[in-house]
Structure 1
Amino acid sequence: MPVCGDLKDYQFTQLVQLLDRGVKTGRLAVQLPQAPQPTLLIWFREGHVVASTVQGEPSALVKLMAQRCLIHQHQVGLLRQLARSSVPLGMALKTEGILLPEHLQLLFSLQLRNSFNRLLSASAGWFRFEERQAAPRSELTGLSLRGREALVLGLRQLQDWQALQHQLLAPGAVVRLKPASNPSLRLNSLERQVLQQLDPCCQVSELERRMPVSGQQIRQAIFRLQVLDLVQEDFARSIHSPKPLVLPGMPPDLPVPCVEDRQGLASVPGNEPGSTSQSEQGEQVPILRAFVDFLKGVA
């Protein structure tokens, strides 16, 4: 059953992290409200991003190749033949000697950049995730990247942080190291410096005093480390940062997305006509947990 929601309540960064943690396979479609913004499509396989494109734009990967002069007119017939095979188009072209490994890396990074940059700066929009929706082989380079690591690559290039500003920690927050998870993504210089300063914890304002960069840059680096699951806020020690009350297994401040009914109409628990009273809401907790368990992959 498709899961849908509003980006005002359930931000793109949070959604991708849950799909990563839940090891989900399927297609995420995000429609931005500003015309003529298109619907952006991102495919996941076991929590890894495998492809991204714009809805209604066929052969997007081939267009990227042509823009970079990686293919030529006389190879169009071969492209059509390879696109019908069971192998990702990028890997098929690599086997034929047309593309090099560095070409695949470039094409995959362009796919991610075109979608993630727009979605990370979006403050409004609607999303829909459908399981078991495989990506067209003609849009696959054959490469993949964990959802959280794809987010960090996008965040490093992000210029407009306005939509994410409220997710950055306040100066009074205390940041603590988490047990090493050994991410495959290499940290940049600022991220490594922040980690070195946490031994094992430190207040954000103290990091700003110690390090020769702006407080905004430090808080952005901390946010990227949080996405990579390397650090976390110590709520017990943070100043003016109360510990949030959440359902078991649910990340803090994460509204539950709605699930479409059989008629395709979205319904949010507690907001539909004839919703239950506050005294009856306790009976809905198993339903809410089921929504969260779906995204997190809990049996």
Structure 2
Amino acid sequence: MSLAGYLSEYSLAEILHFVQEGNKTGLLSIEPDRGLNRSLSDIYYIACQSGRIMSVVPGNVAQHQGLLGTIEQRRWLVPEKVAGLKSQLTILRQPLGTHLKSLNLITAEQLTLLYNSQVIATTCKLFEVHHGRFEFNLEVPLVYSEMTGLNLSAHELALLGMRMLKDWSGLEAKLPALDSALQRLSSQLGGIRLDTQELKVWNLSLGELSVTKIAEQLGLESQKVRQIGFRLSSIGLVQEVSAEPIQPSRNEAMDAPPVCVGGGNSQVPVSASFLSNLMGFLKKKG
């Protein structure tokens, strides 16, 4: 069973949300449009286990020697040991990094460096890709020889990738509108760690303030708040809704003098709240 589509329709952040929310295990392939992304490989394979990202490998996954090749290039193992390990790669039943650490052949710090370069850095580059194809295959077996044993949730990795994204032009159509509001989908963050700006936007996501008003209140650029809003919505923390007009309090409405419209002897009293709602309607129509 597989799910396939185009990156122009579904962003990588939205695909990773599907992986985590569905607690998916399988292989996600990302094939950038070579005409637009010549600096990238033809295809990337992202191994997912129960909604967590285990490895990201460029090129032909059938080679099964990407991670060990990196270790060899860094000279963390002697050539004789590398040669012995190559013959065992196809029978591994645990991540290669975990296997090497259990034999005291590699340290936890080295595994972290490998995961950061193999998974986090590569995924950040893939967030720049907005044209190409993707496919998620549930029936492809996991390739343990490409895994360090470390992992991140799909949501955590999506946040890291989007925080590093510099060119948002490919996602412009997906960003919340300036006159829309953001509404929390839960009162709890569910263990997701937000940065300072993300947390401030999330705290104000009550479905009342528009993106523009949130930006003004936080002293941020409106475009920055739109980007943060997309980050939060793509991992299921908020949704875009219509901003609710701020109504005057009951006492203010009662104290406000009536306003009359019309001419001659046929004046009709009109409340201030009615005029406020009417002006809001006319602005929307305009």
Same fold by TM-score greater than 0.5 = yes
**For this structure pair, what is the TM-score category when the shorter chain's length is used for normalisation?**
0.7 to 0.9
Per the alignment, residue 9 of structure 2 pairs with 9
2:181·2:207 contact (CA, 8 Å) conserved in 1? no
Quick check: 1:29 aligned with 2:33? no
Quick check: 1:46 aligned with 2:50? yes
Quick check: 1:98 aligned with 2:105? yes
1:25·1:133 contact (CA, 8 Å) conserved in 2? no
2:208·2:243 contact (CA, 8 Å) conserved in 1? no
Please give the TM-score of this superposition, normalised by the length of structure 2: 0.73
> For each residue in 1:60-107, what CA deviation from the matched residue of structure 2 results, as whole angstroms up to 9, or x when unmatched?
212333455544435314533663432210101111223222332332
Quick check: 1:60 aligned with 2:66? yes
Distance 1:145 1:237, change over 3 A: same
> For each residue in 1:108-128, what CA deviation from the matched residue of structure 2 results, as whole angstroms up to 9, or x when unmatched?
222223442233222211122
Distance in 1 (alpha carbons) for counterparts of 2:218 and 2:139: 46
Per the alignment, residue 89 of structure 1 pairs with 96
Distance in 2 (alpha carbons) for counterparts of 1:53 and 1:10: 21
The letter of the residue matching 2:51 is: G
Distance in 1 (alpha carbons) for counterparts of 2:231 and 2:143: 30
RMSD after superposition:
2.5
- Which of 93, 118, 124 matches 1:111? 118
Distance in 2 (alpha carbons) for counterparts of 1:223 and 1:150: 15
2:68·2:82 contact (CA, 8 Å) conserved in 1? no
Match of 1:234, SS state, is: strand
2:96·2:146 contact (CA, 8 Å) conserved in 1? yes
Distance 1:209 1:143, change over 3 A: same
Match of 1:179, SS state, is: coil
Match of 1:27, SS state, is: strand
> For each residue in 1:141-176, what CA deviation from the matched residue of structure 2 results, as whole angstroms up to 9, or x when unmatched?
112222222111111111221211221112111112
Match of 2:242, SS state, is: coil
Distance in 1 (alpha carbons) for counterparts of 2:77 and 2:209: 52
Cα distance, 1:217 vs structure 2? 2.1
Please give the TM-score of this superposition, normalised by the length of structure 1: 0.70
Distance in 2 (alpha carbons) for counterparts of 1:21 and 1:185: 13
Per the alignment, residue 293 of structure 1 pairs with none
Distance 1:153 1:67, change over 3 A: farther
Distance in 2 (alpha carbons) for counterparts of 1:68 and 1:142: 19
Match of 1:134, SS state, is: coil
The letter of the residue matching 2:82 is: V
Per the alignment, residue 243 of structure 1 pairs with none
Q: What does residue range 102-181 of structure 1 map to in structure 2 within 5 Å?
A: 102-181=109-188
- Which ranges of structure 1 fall in alignment gaps of 5 or more residues? 239-299
Which structure would you say has the larger Rg?
A: 2
Distance in 1 (alpha carbons) for counterparts of 2:190 and 2:136: 26
Distance in 1 (alpha carbons) for counterparts of 2:204 and 2:16: 28
Identity %: 26
1:177·1:201 contact (CA, 8 Å) conserved in 2? no
2:120·2:157 contact (CA, 8 Å) conserved in 1? no
The letter of the residue matching 1:44 is: C
Distance 1:179 1:71, change over 3 A: same
Structure 1 moving runs of 4+ over 6 Å = none
Of 20-29 and 51-60, the range deviating more from structure 2: 51-60
The letter of the residue matching 1:116 is: T
Q: What does residue range 138-287 of structure 1 map to in structure 2 within 5 Å?
A: 138-198=145-205, 201-235=208-242, 237=244
The letter of the residue matching 2:240 is: E
Distance in 1 (alpha carbons) for counterparts of 2:160 and 2:73: 22
Q: More relative contact order in 1 or in 2 (CA 8 Å, sep 6+)?
A: 1
Cα distance, 1:199 vs structure 2? 5.2
Aligned residue pairs total: 238
Cα distance, 1:237 vs structure 2? 3.5
Per the alignment, residue 19 of structure 2 pairs with 19
